[in-house]
Structures are given as structure tokens and as C-alpha cells.
Structure 1
Amino acid sequence: MSTTSIRQSNTQFRDFEEAAVRVLQLMAEFIDLNTLFVARNDGKTNRMVKVYNKEETLVTEGEELPFYESYCSLSVEHGDRILIIPDLNAHDGTKDMNVTSNLGGGTFIAIPINYEDGENYGTICGLDTKKQTFTDEQINLFETMSSLLTYVLELDYTHQQLYQSAAPVVPITSGLAILPIVGDIDGRRAESIIETALFKSQELALDYLIIDLSGIMYVNETVIASLLKIATILKLIGVAPILTGFRPDLAMKAVQMNAEIKDILIVTNLEQALNHIGFELKQ
């Protein structure tokens, strides 16, 4: 894989894994190593999350090894400092490992990627079958990119938590709950809402789920498609969806899309939804 066309004009990324790809691409421009990769470990398994091979394929994305049979375990044990092994055949920790035998030797460099609380996520690593040395600038680049990925990791985790909490299923009574949807909906958040609705409906043994749309900020095709998907899935598991807060702009967009909403109960507000089910609000 050539490094001549890896520079990206768009520096934005959506999640940790996309950031990892960009980081590896950038590092490949400044460090003469065949392979750069980000690995994830859980203390038992070391999995290659994102991989960049320039020429020879030394590591494959998705590949897994027992953690203590991987070079990454040595990096984690080394602490927050960068680990450099210039000759894998001469280093006490690597010379007898199966992975070294398969490679035939070479160079390894790595530094851990940690969460803010110090818990280890994995490592960012470089690997080559040739012996290599590294300049101070290249070592600093590894350290800087490890810090950057730590920051992105925390942002990604926080973002996921916000997505999960932004559409809570609130139990009203036995068999009945309400799902208020607030803010904007993109494809990723839509999938999170669908998962939440499905999981909570089964957990609470719901007969009805009232989905309140009055807090949606912006209406587009993703919103309409997501609502239809939620309603369809709920009906498949025996839960009756009821949509409230269906504003005129939502209705117009649904009509423009020729959306099949005739089989979905749509009411103006929560009171009407409760009345339909058989509840009556008293003063």
C-alpha cells in the first residue's frame, strides 16, 4: 500500500476507530515502518482493531492472539512509557515467542492507549521485519498520537453514554411506557434509539410504547425512516407503538416520502394516547 495518497483533506472523524485509521495514515508518512496498528486488549485477548500495512502484510485487521503471546502485552507491562525493541531476536521478552519465529525477527515499538482513569484500552504499535532505530521526533509522534487517541476514546465513550441516555424509556404502569425523543436524530443515534426501545420493551414486558416526538429539533428522511423502523420492530415483538407530538412538518415529510404510516396509531398528545389505551386523566 503506497503512502503517496493517504493525506486526508477532511480531518473530522465520527468515532474512535475512524480516528485510529487517520492516526495510522498520518504516522505512516513520517515513520519508515512496514506496519502500524492499534490493538485492543481485555487482558485475555489482543485484537487488531485498525491496521496499516505499507507493503508486506504483517498484521491483519481483526486478527486475535492470546494477550500474553502478543508483543502488546510487553508494552502494557512496560507502563506509560514507550517500548522500543530494536531486535526481536535478541530481546529476552520476544526472542522465544511464536510471533517472532513467524516474522523471522525485526523491530517493534509501542505505547499504551489508556482511558482517563488509567485503565488500559490497548496499544498503538509499529512493526517491521527489519531492524530499525527511531529519532526523538518519531518517538514523540508515538507519544502524541497515544494521547490523542486517549482523548478521542473518552469523547467516544461520553458520546455513546449521551446517546443512550438521550432517549430513556420511562415506565408508566404495568405494560406501558413512554419514550420521549429529544434533539436531532442521525443514523447512529437512530440505531441507538431502536436498540433501547427493543431492549426495554422486552425487559419491561410492554404491551404499549408511547413515542413522544414533540422534542425532535429537525425533521429529515433519517427521522421518518427511523420512526417507521422502530414502529415495525415493536409490532413484530408484540408491542403496540403509539406516536404523539406528530408535528405538521413531520407529517409533511412523511407524505413526501410516501411513508407507510397508516397502520401506526398517531395521536396529538400524551393524554389522547392514554385515553386510547383506557386510562383517564382526572383533575
Structure 2
Amino acid sequence: MPRQQLLKQFRNFHDASTSILNMMSQFIHVNTLFIAKNDQNTNQIVKVLNHDEQLLEEGEENPYEKTFCKLAVDHRDTLLIPDIRLDERSKNLDVTKRLQGGSFIGVPIDFTDGTNYGTICGLDLRPQQFTEEHVHMFETMASLLSYVLELDRANRQIQQLSVPIVPVVDGVAVLPLLGDIEETRAQHILETILQESYRLSLSHLVIDVSGTKRLNEQSIQYLVSYAQTLRLLGISAVLTGIKQDLALSAIQSNISFKDITIRKDLPQALAHIGLTFSKTE
């Protein structure tokens, strides 16, 4: 299947990881297929697919220096170890002693700038000779995952640009929201609010939704949760820019706006905080 068709099935790296391991398992007879990431100190299993024996668990962490994954990253190419007890690189590792033998194949997953994310690997309790088909499959999937990583990185950058928090004066900022507020973006908005509120030492945040074309019940709930979260942090939130049709949607949603300050437009919201602006001739 062409790469572009595969990519249409994936919403993000998490989805890609799950689908790729499931697909590989249909063609490659290796007990455990897994994807791991590292920060040069810790190696974490991001996704794993075990068959007969549960060799690894999702979320499992180990010192990076003592893993097969580090060997694969250092190798910089497809690492093939037909028998982990006999290979000089792996025979003294604790994991080899724990497994008491087996085989390993691993390929680095890199960003386009050359920095390493982690590895895609296969691990089995039986020694075995890996074929060219194994190598081709792992290298192709590593390349695909690298591409998905770059798409995820680009999407995060776009999201960051689409959630600008604009300081007005010390302690006061405005968050102008544009477009729809769906689940993934809603979580990013919350993270940005929390990070920027701390960084700017905010006491007041005006959330302006005048650029939002539609609000369904879920997106309205997100707005309410932002205001409630800020209040718990001692930050006053003011919602503004709610149009007539959006107000009607809010009423029909039966969501409580108790203790949430709402003003018609940005000047009124700032005036509520105690800020007024006059035109200069």
C-alpha cells in the first residue's frame, strides 16, 4: 500500500504505532514486536504486541544503556542479532540473562534532522536467522513512523501558533480563539492556558470566542472547564465574544455557567477587569 494511503488511516503517531505493529505481525513470525522511545537515559516501551510469551509491557521503562534498543541506535542501521547469547554486543546484558536466549532485530526511528526518537524492534525467545524480507519490512515501517513523527511535530507547531495568548498589561492577557474546538485541540488549548498563565503570572485571562464560528455542547463544556480550572488557580477568567446563535446553543446545552463571568465584547471584558482605553486624536 502506498505511503500516502497508509497515512490517511493514521490520526497521529499513537494510531500509526498500533496499526503498524498489527500489520507486521501478519507477515513476520516474531514473538514480540515493539516501538520504544528514549531520552538517552531511559528507554520506554511505547507500543508492544506480544504473541505466545509476554516479553515486554507497554509503558515499561529500563535504563537506556542496558537495552537492545541502544545497540540498534548505536548501530545506525538495521541491527540483526540471530542469537543474543552468542553476540558480543548483547551476551552480557541483563536482559539477555533474563530471557536466557533468543534473537533481536531493531531499526532506529529518527527525525528528519537526524535526532533519534527511538526504535522499532522484534524480539523472540528462539534464535533465528532474519531474512531480507524482515529487514525490508522493519526499515520501511521505521521510515513511515519517522514521517508520521514529522507530521505530528508540524501539527503541534500549527496548534501552538493557533492558540496565541496576548499579554495586555502585567497580569492580564487575552486568548482569542479561532476555528472549531475539537477534542485534540481542546487539550492543547488547556495546556497552553496553564503554561502561559504560569509564565506570565496572570491574574486575569479574557477568552474571546468571537472568531469561533460554531460551538456545540462539547466545545461549550471545554470553555466552562477552562474558566473553572483557572478559578481553582486563583485566576479570573472572562468569556467574551459569544454571538447570538452561540448563546442559544449554550442555553440549549443545559450547561451551567454559574460563577463564570461573561461580557459582550473585548472592551467590556477589559472594563470589567478595570482596564479602559481611550482613543488618541
TM-score (norm 2): 0.92
Distance 2:236 2:222 in 1: 16
The structure 1 residue matched to 2:51, chosen from 45, 54, 65, is 54
The structure 2 residue matched to 1:280, chosen from 254, 266, 276, is 276
Distance 1:85 1:181 in 2: 52
Distance 2:47 2:164 in 1: 33
Tell me the C-alpha RMSD between the 2 structures.
Answer: 1.7
Report the CA distance between 1:185 and its aligned residue.
1.1
Within 5 Å, which residues of 2 pair with 1:1-283? 12-79=9-76, 81-283=77-279
Equivalent AA in structure 2 for residue 171 of structure 1: P
SS in structure 2 of the partner of residue 251 of structure 1: helix
Report the CA distance between 1:186 and its aligned residue.
1.2
Report the CA distance between 1:262 and its aligned residue.
4.1
Contact 1:224 1:250 in 2 (8 A): no
Report the CA distance between 1:10 and its aligned residue.
11
Distance 2:8 2:60 in 1: 27
Contact 1:219 1:249 in 2 (8 A): no
Distance 2:211 2:226 in 1: 17
SS in structure 2 of the partner of residue 30 of structure 1: coil
CA distances 1:91-136 after superposition (whole Å, capped 9, x unpaired): 1111121111111111100100001100011000001011222332
Equivalent AA in structure 2 for residue 37 of structure 1: F
Q: Which moved more, 1:28-37 or 1:197-206?
A: 197-206
Report the CA distance between 1:72 and its aligned residue.
0.8
The alignment covers a number of residue pairs equal to 274
Distance 2:28 2:146 in 1: 21
Report the CA distance between 1:213 and its aligned residue.
0.2
Contact 2:182 2:219 in 1 (8 A): yes
Q: Which moved more, 1:234-243 or 1:29-38?
A: 234-243
Contact 1:108 1:125 in 2 (8 A): yes
SS in structure 1 of the partner of residue 26 of structure 2: helix
Equivalent AA in structure 2 for residue 242 of structure 1: V
Equivalent AA in structure 1 for residue 42 of structure 2: T
Structure 1: unaligned runs, 5 residues or longer: 1-8
Equivalent AA in structure 1 for residue 45 of structure 2: M
Once the two structures are aligned, what percentage of the paired residues are identical?
47
Distance 1:153 1:202 in 2: 29
